[in-house]
Structure 1
Amino acid sequence: MSKYTKKIQEYKQEMLNNIAYLVEVPSIRDLYTKGVGSPFGENIKRAFDRFLEIANKLGFACENDEGYAAHAEIGKGEEYVGVLAHLDVVDVQNIEEWETEPFSMIIKNNKIFGRGVNDDKGPLISALYAAKILNDMNVEWKRKVRIIVGGAEETTWECMEHYFKTHSQPTLGFSPDGNFPIVNGEKGILGMKVSFKGEYMEEEICNIESRNKVNYVCDDLKVVFKRKNVDNILSYSKNATEISLGDNEVTLIYKGKVSLSRNPQRGKNAMFLFVGDFYDFDFKEKGIVNMMNFIKDCLLDDFYGEKMGLYREDKEMGKSSICPMTIKWKNGKGEMSLDYRYPKNIEPSKIKNRIYELAKEYKFDVEIEREKKLLYVPSDSELIMALKEAYKKVMNEEADTITKGGASYARVLKNGVAFGATFDGEEPNPHMPNENMSIDSLMKATEIYCEALYRLACK
């Protein structure tokens, strides 16, 4: 037992109650309800109000940054340690796959279930109580601890941009929105939309449409052919999950397996099943031919960018990845969205130049829709060494540094990393149905955060 264990157990039920209080709010971006003080919609504002209510009751000094972000501060000192988390969540897709009500926290098999329990409301409450526990213990502060929450982490990140326009950077900090031990590397991200134009020669396909949105592997694809040469179409449809014949159409459904686009190798891309069936079909429409050739030549069954000439591997940060996420063809126009993530041994300008070369070759237009610079903090830095010591003290094992494809608020810090709260081997399903978090892991994360904040903020 550590010096924090008793306090954590005293607060355990209160922590769970407060996580449930936050999870009850479906804090999904909704600009239809935005207003003064609620730039991301009314429900995200409600989540801010509840967080500030919780923090005020715990004795933190609080500030709301016009509904973009907020903070809760405790301790003493001119400098501060920043802990950056977020209150917005992704929407609930595939509701039929949820075993519990997404916006009602349920305890089952010593786990909590609900949208946000892992990403990021549970870890946020864990870090908040870690700072509270240190204050209860009358530690001697050398730096304040400031828990900073944003409302647009899952979308535009304008929350942090707004906050740091008027607030100073922390001396050092972390985001409890990743994995243990320490995520000192986050790959660069380039999200692209590629567009193909048809020539209306003879369009066999009426419609192609994928179900899922961006940030996921395409797991459900619907392809509608005009009903002619039916036997020929059916002879190609070897991997189709469902086939239906209408009076004027032939509809094919391709089912894959969903995963996050940053880990495309964990899923099964329905787009690949379709293109694998039809890449040598005699399409007359040149726009579809260009799109099919691009997928076949540059993407099919490749998770790492080798076919595009964008494969990179770095000793510290691992491999690049590429994922086609969505596809659409309608009225002579096609669109695809791609997610490329890369380590530190390739320049963004070289990536873009290669994409533009492919655009010219395969006759598509490209638009960069999302771009985030990579994060890398050397393993021997003061911050990393302190977090390593904290992790080892609690877990009695060495803390390795790792690289992830995801993006945490650590990227907005001049000296910060992602630190927990998911342990190795756990499957908390962030962004997916049945998001969950082990209660024991949540309490252990709180203990680690107590020790880390003690080393970073106390004398």
Structure 2
Amino acid sequence: MKYKNEIEKYIEDHKQEMIDDIIKLCEINSQKMPYKEGMPFGEGPYKALMAAISMGEGYGFSVKNYDNYVAAIDLNDKEKGLDILAHLDVVPEGEGWTKTEPFKPHIEDGKIYGRGTSDDKGPAVAALYALRALKELNIPLSKNVRLILGTDEECGSECIKHYYKFEKEAPLSFSPDAEYPVVNIEKGKLHGNFVANFEKSTELPRIVSIEAGTKVNVVPPKAKMVIEGLKIDDVKAEADKVSAETGIKFLFDLEPVFEITAMGKNAHGSTPQNGNNAITALLLLISRLKFAKSKQIEILNNLYKLMPHGETDGKSLGIKCSDEKSGELTLAFSLLKVTQDNIDGGFDLRCPICASTKDIMSTLRVKLSAAGVELTNQTMTEPHEVPGDGHFVQTLNKCYEEYTGLKGGAIAIGGLTYVHDIKNGVAFGAIFPGTDTHMHGADEFMVISELVASAKIFAQVIVELCS
């Protein structure tokens, strides 16, 4: 491939600088925060954006700031050729970190640990260094490449929606926010919400409250419940049985109230099978405890029947489906808040391209209504597909194969990236096959050699598509 030797040498020579820049960004807690004037997603995302802008300008690029929602770094001033979309915001730090604190990046055994190292600050910086390599090597290009850095990907992508109010899509786009080889299919998505209101019951035993889940797209690792009127020995006896069945641990605290905490394992909402859901395990325990009859208990038991522990395919809700291209529907019961007169819950649903989103929504409304709650959502995001045999996907695969020796291909994911609604948009890297970076979980990391390889691949892709 043309300029391959020059690209490889440049990236290797600047590897430490790239690592240093990743660390600088990952030291910033850029999860979504309360709005401040000039900071649409709060102080953390704003600081990360300013740091990335400073990096881009420091390397001599023209950088455009779109109202502190998004920054765009241009390789040249020629016509649009390729957009690379990455993000600088992160999910909450969560619990269970052992290698380092979430925002104190740590290098060990060839890996960078820290929140955002793989999702998506590490890949974003790898893309920046691809642009830097081509700029400083003076490799001639006939079209522009724009690196677009958003700050709200994890909470609705309002940043990119804002960007496209001002700009048109490039003819081709990819996001280094997934895995290799090429992700040409992204499933449909629903971040479902349901609510119920009812009369408060004073009968004992009863549930006082439940607080569970961190974000709708994260399998909940913890669920807390406060109860009255039950003996701890009776509760423990049932909890031990549930623990043996599910692998969920239960913790107990009697002061100042009787609090039960279910401890599970988090995972990305698009891969709920990789986690162990604390909410559904807690509901299983509730179904076996002898609470007084109430509308609250009736609804919770109904919800458990629709979303039982260990089931992630929507079977009990009547929405199970799958196809060869994009796999099966997935569902994670991810948020639950219960008071003595209200239930508010959420779930993450991803559907394959064969699914009828209209039918899924209709079925959900009927099933949840029968359970005693109201689905508040009106629509869901449709699945996205770019032909796997087209020139764009084939070029990405060619570069990937050349630099890695691995077989390319076209794959589907449950996660949604920035390119989900872009006509010629795919996800490309930066996680290698077989590497579990603990994305959205504790001890998130990125393999340094894979980041270096990604920077080389991205640079070569630009040469092949924009020369």
What's the TM-score bracket when you normalise by the shorter of the two chains? over 0.9
Q: What does residue 91 of structure 2 align with?
A: 90
User: Cα distance, 1:154 vs. partner?
Assistant: 1.3
**Alignment gaps of 5+ in structure 1:** none
**Any idea what the Cα deviations from partners look like across 1:323-357, whole Å, max 9, x if unmatched?**
10122221222222111110111122111101111
Residues 1:457 and 2:466 are matched in the alignment: yes
Q: What does residue 246 of structure 2 align with?
A: none
Residues 1:175 and 2:175 are matched in the alignment: yes
User: Cα distance, 1:242 vs. partner?
Assistant: 4.1
Q: What does residue 121 of structure 1 align with?
A: 121
Q: Give, in whole Å, the separation in 2 of the partners of 1:152 and 1:284.
A: 43
In structure 1, give the amino acid aligned to 2:238. Answer: Y
* Cα RMSD after superposing both structures: 2.3
Q: What does residue 223 of structure 2 align with?
A: 221
In structure 2, give the amino acid aligned to 1:119. Answer: D
1:383 to 373, 392, 407: 392
User: Cα distance, 1:35 vs. partner?
Assistant: 1.2
**Any idea what the Cα deviations from partners look like across 1:34-81, whole Å, max 9, x if unmatched?**
213x22223322222221221122222111111111111113532221
Q: What does residue 417 of structure 1 align with?
A: 426
In structure 1, give the amino acid aligned to 2:134. Answer: L
In structure 2, give the amino acid aligned to 1:14. Answer: E
Residues 1:29 and 2:32 are matched in the alignment: yes
User: Secondary structure, in 3 states, of the residue corresponding to 1:55?
Assistant: helix
Q: Give, in whole Å, the separation in 2 of the partners of 1:304 and 1:60.
A: 46
Residues 1:279 and 2:287 are matched in the alignment: yes
Q: What does residue 345 of structure 1 align with?
A: 354
1:359 to 360, 368, 371: 368
Q: What does residue 311 of structure 2 align with?
A: 302
Q: Give, in whole Å, the separation in 2 of the partners of 1:160 and 1:336.
A: 27
Q: Give, in whole Å, the separation in 2 of the partners of 1:228 and 1:140.
A: 74
Describe how 1:69-108 pairs up with structure 2 within 5 A: 69-75=70-76, 77-94=78-95, 97-108=97-108
Q: Give, in whole Å, the separation in 2 of the partners of 1:438 and 1:138.
A: 29
**Any idea what the Cα deviations from partners look like across 1:10-48, whole Å, max 9, x if unmatched?**
11111112112222222222224x213x22223322222
2:455 to 427, 431, 446: 446
Residues 1:7 and 2:10 are matched in the alignment: yes
Q: Are 1:299 and 1:308, in contact at CA under 8 Å, matched by a contact in 2?
A: no
Q: Are 2:99 and 2:106, in contact at CA under 8 Å, matched by a contact in 1?
A: no
Q: Are 1:379 and 1:401, in contact at CA under 8 Å, matched by a contact in 2?
A: yes
Identical-pair percentage: 29
Q: Are 1:191 and 1:370, in contact at CA under 8 Å, matched by a contact in 2?
A: no
In structure 2, give the amino acid aligned to 1:225. Answer: I
After TM superposition, the structure 1 stretch with the greater mean CA deviation from structure 2, 421-430 or 101-110, is 101-110
User: Cα distance, 1:229 vs. partner?
Assistant: 6.4
After TM superposition, the structure 1 stretch with the greater mean CA deviation from structure 2, 43-52 or 248-257, is 248-257
- Taking structure 1 as the reference length, what is the TM-score of the superposition? 0.92
Distance 1:284 1:19, change over 3 A: same
Q: Are 2:179 and 2:432, in contact at CA under 8 Å, matched by a contact in 1?
A: yes
Q: What does residue 339 of structure 2 align with?
A: 330
User: Secondary structure, in 3 states, of the residue corresponding to 1:166?
Assistant: coil
User: Cα distance, 1:186 vs. partner?
Assistant: 1.2
Q: What does residue 273 of structure 2 align with?
A: 265
Q: Are 1:175 and 1:419, in contact at CA under 8 Å, matched by a contact in 2?
A: yes
Describe how 1:116-155 pairs up with structure 2 within 5 A: 116-155=116-155
Distance 1:232 1:78, change over 3 A: closer
In structure 2, give the amino acid aligned to 1:208. Answer: I
Q: What does residue 211 of structure 2 align with?
A: 209
Q: Are 2:386 and 2:423, in contact at CA under 8 Å, matched by a contact in 1?
A: no
Q: Give, in whole Å, the separation in 2 of the partners of 1:268 and 1:334.
A: 22
User: Secondary structure, in 3 states, of the residue corresponding to 1:307?
Assistant: helix
Distance 1:290 1:444, change over 3 A: same
After TM superposition, the structure 1 stretch with the greater mean CA deviation from structure 2, 191-200 or 399-408, is 191-200
After TM superposition, the structure 1 stretch with the greater mean CA deviation from structure 2, 249-258 or 20-29, is 249-258
**Alignment gaps of 5+ in structure 2:** 244-248
Distance 1:401 1:235, change over 3 A: same
**Any idea what the Cα deviations from partners look like across 1:166-222, whole Å, max 9, x if unmatched?**
112111010011101111111111011222333345352222222533322222222
**Any idea what the Cα deviations from partners look like across 1:408-428, whole Å, max 9, x if unmatched?**
111142211110000011121
Distance 1:213 1:284, change over 3 A: same
Q: What is the count of residue pairs matched by the alignment?
A: 455
After TM superposition, the structure 1 stretch with the greater mean CA deviation from structure 2, 224-233 or 356-365, is 224-233
Q: Are 1:236 and 1:278, in contact at CA under 8 Å, matched by a contact in 2?
A: no
Describe how 1:30-49 pairs up with structure 2 within 5 A: 30-32=33-35, 34-36=36-38, 38-49=39-50
Q: Are 1:243 and 1:250, in contact at CA under 8 Å, matched by a contact in 2?
A: no
After TM superposition, the structure 1 stretch with the greater mean CA deviation from structure 2, 248-257 or 391-400, is 248-257
Distance 1:109 1:349, change over 3 A: same
